[in-house]
Amino acid sequence: MKSILFIIPWSGFYIGRSGCSFAEEPERPPEGVVGLATFLKSKGAPVKVADMQQMLRSNDGDAQQTYADLWQLCTEFKPDCIGMSFFTARFEYARDVFVYLTRKYNESTLCRPFIFAGGVHPTLLPHTTYRHIPFDALVIGEGELPLLQFLSGVSPHEIKGFFMPGDTEVVKADVIDNLDDLPFPDWSLIDIDFYTQPSFQISYAEKDSVMPITFGRGCMYRCNFCAHNCFLYARCHSADYFIRKMQHVAKQCGVSYFIIQDSSIGNFRTTWKQVCHRLIEMGSPYKWWANLRANQVDEDFLRLLKAAGCIKLFFGFESGSQRVLNRMNKRITIDQCRRAAELCHKLDLPFYTSYIVNYFDEEESDLRLTEELIRETRPTSLAVNKFSPIPGSIDYDTNEERIKPYIKTIHDWTMLGMLVSPRLFGNMPEEDFERWYKHLRGLKKYINSHEDTSQ
């Protein structure tokens, strides 16, 4: 079976930056790539992972040393193929890695591997990806089944989900329907000591060693601004499998704190209740943070979550204006947001709320309502982000002509992926929006610096 090296490109933020505190600026380990690599390894493929973000930070921001480390890995492992996985926010850095490797292989006597790309950006924007980076192929959708065929010797031209240069029809790969068929992630494939350093990932007031863990894939909802389920269909593990997965990760990584990666544990409410009851029977040995939608909240459910080890919930309230929420297709109400916050306060369950500003045709009155909802609901911690129409979202697809004039280079794509909006979408003068944005960011800073974990 062919050997494969997975490369996760870095983000440019850490280039040239030394002495960065992991506690203050933590990273979540790349669970998706590790899971995919584990699957292929379980089928007999020789696999390694080059996690360039971790490598760059461990090299104190020294990009040249990190490139040298990558090339040393290539020369020692001699992979038959190299796969890059990246979001839009790392598009230009994937290009940089591709150019570097192409040059190094041309200068060496080594046979150049087959170099392909997968992940969110290549799946959603294959033609754009090819315009900037001449990969040998792109994998469209989930990677387990098409890559297993490819490493087993099947021609990429014959594999559903492979998109080759010159192809016109984009076809998504077949997927594994039963997620319980997947092996538990093998975290030894990356530097797990780096990722399990104590940090403020869950709380701004208390450091913990935390690992991510995914319960399901996809989402039951389709908010206009979100690309979470643009190519994933919703399914989840069984309760029994997930409990064993938690036990496996806890033992391998030496942690008892988890961040549940799913868009909302309420999407698979019945099965998640089974998980909670199992955890309670075990004495609730783990502490965890999870995402939940405001319309999925009731007191009994929150009591169950807390009893099973939940120490914080994340809610995307997004706006204090019902008009804006409706336009986002968020499918929640302001009253549901208030009720969710009220119950969390009643049960002493910390919660994190997120808001989006600069949404289409947002007015000052909408921002005023957002501030009022933040102050009324008193979140434990807060996020305020500028809206940016990301590829794969309905907002991007339906407003592409408004966005395209601002996206001319691969760097522009990267900035779009980093949620650095190319323009003002709200219905107000730019100076008024910036004044509001600064004000709300100040409110965020105040709330997060006063987070209380004594509840």
Alpha carbon 48 to its chain's center? 21
Mean pLDDT value across the chain: 94
Contact partners, residue 13, CB within 8 Å, separation at least 6: none
DSSP per residue, 31-97:
HHHHHHHHHHHHTT--EEEEEHHHHHHHTTT-HHHHHHHHHHHHHHH--SEEEEE--GGGHHHHHHH
Calpha distance 154→147 (Å, rounded): 9
Q: What is the pLDDT of residues 352-398, one digit of tens each?
A: 999 999 999 999 999 999 999 999 999 999 999 999 888 888 988 88
Q: Is 321 helix (H, G, I), strand (E, B) or coil?
A: coil
Confidence band, pLDDT 50/70/90 cuts, at residue 212: very high
Segment 188-217 shows an average pLDDT of 94
For residue 12, the model assigns a pLDDT of 87
For residue 186, the model assigns a pLDDT of 98
Calpha distance 146→156 (Å, rounded): 8
Distances (CA, A) of 426 to 15, 231, 423: 33, 29, 9
Confidence band, pLDDT 50/70/90 cuts, at residue 16: very high
Residue 453 has pLDDT above 60, yes or no: no
pTM of the entire predicted model: 0.93
Residue 223 has pLDDT above 70, yes or no: yes
Segment 235-254 shows an average pLDDT of 97
Strands 216-217 and 257-260: unpaired
Phi, psi (deg, nearest 5) at residue 374: -60, -50
Structure tokens at 430: 């730019």
Segment 426-450 shows an average pLDDT of 94
Segment 294-322 shows an average pLDDT of 97
Q: What is the pLDDT of residues 387-417, one digit of tens each?
A: 988 888 898 888 888 888 888 899 998 988 8
Give 284 or 418, the one with higher predicted confidence.
Answer: 284
Q: What is the pLDDT of residues 105-145, one digit of tens each?
A: 999 999 999 999 999 899 989 999 999 999 999 999 999 99
Q: Do residues 395 and 380 touch, judged by C-beta distance below 8 A? A: no
Residue 23 has pLDDT above 80, yes or no: yes
Residue 231 has pLDDT above 70, yes or no: no
